[in-house]
Every structure is written in structure tokens, then in C-alpha cells.
Amino acid sequence: MKKFSCDCGNRLFFHNNHCLACLREVSWCPVCNTLTAFEVSESGLSCARCKSSLWKCANRINYEVCNRSVLAPETPSGELLCDCCVYNKTIPDLGEPGNLERWRELEKAKRQLFYGLNSLGLPHGPGISDDAHGLSFHFKDDETSPKAFWRSIGKKERVFTGHDNGKITIHVREADTVTREKLRVDLGEGHRTLIGHFRHEIGHYYWDLLIGPNEEMLRGFVGLFGDHNADYAEALDRYYKEGASANWQNGFISAYATMHPWEDWAETFAFYLNVVDVMETVNCSELIQMPVPGDFKGLIDLYARFGILMNELNRAMGLIDFLPAVIPPTVLDKLEFVHAVVEKASSTNGA
């Protein structure tokens, strides 16, 4: 994440709604693509930096779950959603206690996801489209008892976090820290985070968009990740009955990645997004000498060494490891493939 600052000189953070020094409202400007303060006049709001006329996202006005703006239309009419909120097709039932707070956390993770995708120049669909690759988000709750977690069957439909033809569903209960941590321990995961769910599921979206229709990419995928035509239901059933093999760390970024080639791709893609986001933050801190641009292996090596340092710092504080994964040569090959796919998509997308 890059550094942001208010016109008053105070440091701003990506999810801020206000500057804590001058108390002005701040927002993400879609024109200059940065977090900046609002200027208020009789004619309305404008970006303090580029002076563009802006409107607040409707989800900020009505629910305070967003901190982004939209370019003011020439003919004012109704309310508008920002470039992140426009992808929502299903929001949580706000009549359910706690769901507004859960939705707010989900939106934070989604905004961070889009920040990373846009930084990489990756294409994404037009939002709430019924097209095959029209990306949309569905935040749903199956209304089970909190004691039973989301895996129990409730009175209504059973909801699973997942992806289907561009439709990404995130279970609302994943925004509960306690519930998510219990599931993390129960399932033996090193990490379980909201941003991790978004990055994993968007990986499936990009497989459909960038790998499946491309014969050359598909051949490269099969050579590294395996045959995607393997029966998914059988693989899922086998994984939850038998788990991963004892030596899975030699070829996979996580135990879940062993389940099926599609999940291996999604887990590796999510890890790639982790690396890119973390190392951008490290680079902006100016505390560590970064490798030369284009040296992807050097970037991964630095990430691993930085991760070891962070692990030691976390252990000193009694926290879980920052980097629970290892990066053996096979996983590095997969990460390089993901990088090549991203680079090609970015260049095709005009980034």
C-alpha cells in the first residue's frame, strides 16, 4: 500500500474517512486515484488535489461502509455507487444485528482487493453483469446459530464462500473475528482473513478469464498445477476425508491447494497478491532495499526473508506467524507462472 497524506500534511491511511488532524472528510478520488480531502463549496464537493467535482458513494451516504467518491455527473440524478460498490449484487440483511458492522469489514477487504488489482492493471468485468465474466459480489448469511458456525444448515439456504462464473459469494460470518479464528484453528489453516478470501476467490475468476479460454496458458497451467478436468466433487470429498499428504509443503503453498488444480491455482494466486501488496508497502517504507524492477525471483526472495523477520517479531509478541508458508522451487515455478499471466493480462489491458 502506498503512502497517503492530507493537504494539511497529516498521514492518511487507506480506510480513513476523516483526517485526524484537520478533521476534514477524506475520500478516494477516482480521477487522481488517491486518498485526499474534500473541498466544500456552495457548488458541492471537489477533490482538494485535482479539483474534480465529486459525489460521495451512496453506500457512504446511507450506510457509512465506503470511503470512495464518484465523478459528479453533468446532470445530477439520484445517488451513485463508486467503482468498488457497483460490483455488489447482494448485501447482508441489515435487519440482522451486527450485519452492518460485518458489511463494513467486508467492504474494507473488497476495496483493498480492487486496489491491488488496479495496481497490477488486471481487467475485471463491468459489475453486476449477467455476462459469463461479469464480476459481482454476494454477501450472504444462512442465518444459522452463531454457536454452530456457518457449516451447519439453517432454516434458509446454506451459504458457502465460493466462486461461480464471476459471482463471488462471501459468507457474512467470515467478518466475525471470533468465528473466523475458530474456523482457522478447526481447519488447520495458517491464516484465515477476509482479504484472503477475496484474493482466493478472485483467483478463480481470473482462471476463467485468463487461463481457461487460452490454449497456450492452459497448457502451461496443466504442466504445473495438474489436470483441471479431474472430478472436483470427488477431490473435495477426498480432501475432507483424508486431508493433504504428509509432504505437501514440497509442492504446494497450502494444504488446501492439494485438493484440486483449481484450488492450487487460487491459493497460489492469492499468495501472489499478498506478496505484491506487502512488498509495495515495504517499498514505500524505504526501510529495505528493493530488487531491481522485473526481478521477480529477487522479489520473492526478499519477501521470504522479510517474512522470517516478521515471524520472529510476531513470536516475540505472542502472535501467529506472518508467513506460515514455505516457498520451495515447485511453488516458485507456480508463482512465476502466475506472474507471467498477470503481466500478459496487464499489457493487454493497456496498463
What is the secondary structure of 105-116 as a DSSP string? HHHHHHHHHHHH
Short-list 114, 297, 79, CA closest to 202 = 114
- Give the pLDDT of residue 347: 84
Q: Which residue has the cell 522470517?
A: 308
Q: What is the pTM of this model?
A: 0.90
Grid cell for residue 158: 446454506
Short-list 171, 155, 172, CA closest to 163 = 171
Q: Could you tell me if residue 207 is inside a domain?
A: no
Q: Which of 174, 201, 228 is the last residue of a domain?
A: 201
Q: Which of 152, 177, 201 is the last residue of a domain?
A: 201
Q: Are residues 78 and 111 in the same domain?
A: no
By the 8 A CB rule, do 70 and 30 touch? yes
- Give the pLDDT of residue 1: 77
Grid cell for residue 186: 478447526
Q: Could you tell me if residue 48 is inside a domain?
A: yes
- Give the pLDDT of residue 237: 93
Count CA within 13 A, CB hemisphere, residue 218: 9
- Give the pLDDT of residue 145: 46
Q: Are residues 275 and 140 in the same domain?
A: no
Q: Are residues 54 and 88 in the same domain?
A: no
E strand intervals along 97-250 = 136-140, 162-164, 167-171
Q: Are residues 297 and 274 in the same domain?
A: yes
- Give the pLDDT of residue 133: 55
Q: Are residues 74 and 135 in the same domain?
A: no
- Give the pLDDT of residue 154: 43
- Give the pLDDT of residue 73: 86
Instruction: Report the domain count for the chain.
Output: 3
Q: Are residues 172 and 256 in the same domain?
A: no
Q: Could you tell me if residue 206 is inside a domain?
A: no
- Give the pLDDT of residue 156: 54
Residue 11 belongs to what domain range? 4-82
By the 8 A CB rule, do 192 and 255 touch? no
The Cα–Cα gap between 111 and 103 comes to: 12
- Give the pLDDT of residue 128: 46
- Give the pLDDT of residue 289: 77
Q: Are residues 218 and 346 in the same domain?
A: yes
Q: Are residues 294 and 265 in the same domain?
A: yes
Q: Could you tell me if residue 316 is inside a domain?
A: yes
3-state secondary structure of 190: coil
Short-list 78, 270, 114, CA closest to 191 = 270
Per residue of the chain (351 residues), what is the pLDDT tens digit?
788 988 888 999 999 999 999 999 999 999 999 999 988 876 678 888 889 999 999 999 999 999 999 998 877 777 899 999 999 999 999 999 999 999 999 999 999 999 999 999 999 876 544 455 589 999 998 764 444 443 443 455 678 889 998 999 999 999 998 888 888 888 888 888 999 999 999 999 999 999 999 999 999 999 999 999 999 999 999 998 998 888 999 999 999 999 999 999 999 999 999 999 999 888 888 777 788 778 899 999 999 989 999 999 999 999 999 988 889 999 999 999 999 999 999 888 765
Q: What phi, psi does 80 have (nearest 5°)?
A: -125, 150
Q: Are residues 218 and 102 in the same domain?
A: no
The Cα–Cα gap between 7 and 10 comes to: 7
